Structure formats: C-alpha cells, structure tokens
Amino acid sequence: MAGLPGIDEALAFVLERARPLALETVPIGAAIGRVLGADAHALVDLPPFDSSAMDGFAVRATDTPGRLRIVGHSAAGRPESRELAAGEAIAISTGAIVPAGADAVIPVERTTVAGGTVEVEAVAEGDNRREQGGDVRIGAVVVPAGTRLGPAQVGALAATGAAEVLCARRPRVAVLATGTELRAPGEPLASGEIYESNSLVLRAQLESAGAEVVVLHAVGDDVESTRDAIAAGLDADVLVTSGGVSVGEHDLVRGALAALGAEEVFWRVAVRPGKPVAFAVRGETLVFGLPGNPVSALVGFELFVRPAVLALQGARTTGPPFLPGRLGAPVRLSLEREGLVRARTRVEPDGVVVDPVSGQESHMIVQAAGADALVRVPLGSGALAAGMPVRYLAI
Ligand code: AMP
Ligand code: MG
C-alpha cells in the first residue's frame, strides 16, 4: 500500500485541476445555492432612510414626557411631508420614514391618545429609530465573492437592490453506473442481479453541490458499451462513474478512459472505504471513477467530488467541512488506510459525541443510511479509545 496518496494529498491533486467555470448573470430569484463570482455591492443604503422600528409616535425627545399635539401620520410607503415642530407628535408605523424634526419614536404601548393629543412617556434621542445605512452603506460589500448563497444572502442582495448577480456557470455533470448485475428499482431481479442505487445517491449529492446532472443509461461490463457511454460523458464538465475501477477482469472503466485519451492523475487512495477511486482529466473535463460499493461511492463523493464541484463554481471554501467531536466508542486503527467510519451524532453539554453504527462494510448502504456522520479515523496501530477527539463530516 506504500505510495498511495492519502485523502489530503489526493484532494490537492483534484483541486489543482478544478478551476472556476465562466461567469454568467443570474436573476436574484434563481440565485439560491449559486456561488457568487464577484463581490456584490449595495446599490442603496439600508435602510434607505431613517425609519421607525415601532408603531407609535415620532417625537422630539426633549418634548418627552408630556402631552403632544398629533399633527400627521407617516405610514410605511406613505411618508408625511410635514416637518415636526416643538410640542408635536406624528403617528408613525414600523418601517415608515421618521419625519424631519423628529429624533425618536415612542412605541404606541407607552402612549395614551385623547382627542387630537397624545400623552407620551419619556424617550431618549434615537430611540426606536433605525438609522439610514445602519445595516449597510451604498457601495459597501454585501456578500463577498466565493460565497455560496443561502436564504439570508439572497435576502441581503435583494434588500440592497440586486436584481441579478454574477456566478460561475453551474458544472454540467454526467453520472454513469457500470455493472452487468444492475437493475433499476421496480424491475424484477434475476439471479445474481441487484438494484442500482449509486446513480440516485450521486445525483442527489451532485444537485446539493450545485451541479446540473445528467444520468446516463447504466451500462453492463462490456468494453464497447462502457467506452461509448464514457465517451458521451466526457462532453460534460465532470463525469462521475461508479463501479468497474478495481482489478477484476470486468473492471473496464480505467481502460476505457485511457482509450479515450483521458490522463489518469491517481488511482487508489489510502482510505477505507473507497480505496480504488480513480481520478483522470481529459481536456477541461474532470473524471471521477468511484468504486461500485454504495458506501465507497458515497464516501468518495464527499471526499473528492463535492469539493471539486464547489471549486468549479469558484467557492471560497470547498471542504470537506470536518467538524470536531469525540468518539462514543473505540474504533480500530490501520497503518495503511485512513478510515471514514459511519456514525450517529449525539449532542452532549461539552460537545458532539459520535457513535459508530454497527455494520461498517462498504456494501452496507442500509446501515450507512442510519448514520449522519463520517468520522475521520487517522492512520495508526491499535485502537482509538472512546472519548478521543476526532473530526467528522455531516452527511
Ligand atoms: P465494482 O466496483 O464494480 O467491483 O462493484 C463493487 C460492488 O458494488 C459490487 O457488489 C457491485 O454489485 C456493487 N455495485 C456496483 N455498482 C452499483 C450500483 N450502481 N448500485 C449498487 N451497487 C453497485
Ligand atoms: Mg462492477
């Protein structure tokens, strides 16, 4: 096993080759999940004007406490043009412009209206007034380049006037499952056959990473159909295959890639599960040959493919985003391969504890489905004891 790259080394090989795709304009309404390609600047002050934080009365703080004459009404979107003079109050709603001359707002709960007057308690200058530009000033950076836009970022961009944003194009990713034994769910299984699940997992993982996915028809372990399907997949920005990358005589993916002119960057990584992962490039296309065992494919995706898909979109952080935790039970160490152990997280007062699930073999997708974490187990001999600090990846 000597000489195989470790996880970090293999990931570095991938990221060296995953350069951001060309920028395009994206309407703000379609920008969720996209990665910003350039700093986005505020097109307005936010708030755009001094506004009220409460329903109540706009006043001069020096007039309070006291009884004031109600001389107008400023509602959200319907400003009061009149300027406030001494001894006056203007009824105001949340989000409305604080009229000129007023320097505070008294909430309605602290007032008593009688006739055309209002009795107000004391307020200090600036109370319940949101200052123009208090959130952001026009021209300042709202969201920096490389940020993956979540709901709050989309909201910030819209609130500061962005109708569209610049983002790297979404990577087009082709998925190809290989294996003569594979049948689609819903079909009857003949002897020796199993249901094909990897393409569904990979599609879901890819879409959650921002890719545009095309799932190719699964192919059997036959030289010609494997080569034809891979040739079609090489038109995409990324091709992800599953199965057929081990050392068996029916493992045809690497041979097909070589025949089609793809340059293999690495094959096999010192990791369990997922050792026989292959990574190749042809022109601008990145190719990941993931092993067929469902847990190996799932893990290989999180370690290498998701970071690449994010890097192609220009993401500032590409992960994998390992988090700190500690072991709830001992795990065995290996001197040859780092491990990604499927575990369930438990939040304790002093941090997250990860409990390995039973059934750690790489074909056990059902056991893996009961886990919510992949615990990274370093190289070593013996065992890592319960309570030891580890890092884990949420899945
Ligand atoms: P391979 O990497 O082709 O040697 O496949 C390893 C194991 O994973 C075998 O038991 C395959 O039957 C299984 N396998 C391969 N591809 C898939 C798939 N798409 N869905 C579910 N299991 C698969
Ligand atoms: Mg196979």
DSSP secondary structure string for all residues of 209-238: TT-EEEEPPPB-S-HHHHHHHHHHHTTSSE
14-66: pLDDT as tens digits: 999 999 999 999 999 999 999 999 999 999 999 999 999 999 999 999 999 99
CB of 180 within 6 A of ligand 1: the answer is no
Ligand 1 centroid to residue 319 C-alpha, Å: 27
Return the structure tokens found at 261. 């002119």
Of 246, 343, 229, residue with least CA distance to 289? 246
Residues with CB under 5 A from ligand 2 (ion): 179, 243-244, 292
Atom of ligand 1 nearest to the CA of 178: 16
258-302: pLDDT as tens digits: 999 999 999 999 999 999 999 999 999 999 999 999 999 999 999
What is the Cα–Cα distance from 48 to 159, expressed in whole angstroms? Answer: 10
Q: Which ligand is nearest to the CA of 194?
A: 1
Q: Which protein residue's CA is at the shortest distance from atom 7 of ligand 1?
A: 293
Ligand 1 centroid to residue 316 C-alpha, Å: 34
Residues 161-166, mean pLDDT to the nearest whole number? 98
Ligand 1 centroid to residue 181 C-alpha, Å: 8
Residues 181-201, mean pLDDT to the nearest whole number? 98
CB of 242 within 6 A of ligand 1: the answer is yes
Cis peptide bond prior to 320, omega within 30° of 0: yes
What is the Cα–Cα distance from 25 to 156, expressed in whole angstroms? Answer: 18
Neighbours of 217 (CB within 10 A): 11
Neighbours of 90 (CB within 10 A): 25
Residues 369-392, mean pLDDT to the nearest whole number? 98
Q: Which ligand is nearest to the CA of 297?
A: 1
Return the structure tokens found at 177. 């499952």
What is the Cα–Cα distance from 356 to 377, expressed in whole angstroms? Answer: 11
pLDDT at 2: 56
Q: Which protein residue's CA is at the shortest distance from atom 14 of ligand 1?
A: 292
Ligand 1 centroid to residue 242 C-alpha, Å: 7
What is the Cα–Cα distance from 285 to 234, expressed in whole angstroms? Answer: 6
Who contacts 239 (Cβ-Cβ below 8 Å, separation ≥6)? 173, 174, 176, 230, 233, 285, 286, 287, 288
Of 52, 60, 123, residue with least CA distance to 71? 60
Residue with tokens 């890819």: 206
Residue with tokens 């007034």: 129
Atom of ligand 1 nearest to the CA of 245: 2
pLDDT at 3: 87
CA 336 vs CA 271, 297, 340: distances in Å:
8, 20, 13
Q: Which protein residue's CA is at the shortest distance from atom 5 of ligand 1?
A: 292
Return the structure tokens found at 257. 């890639």
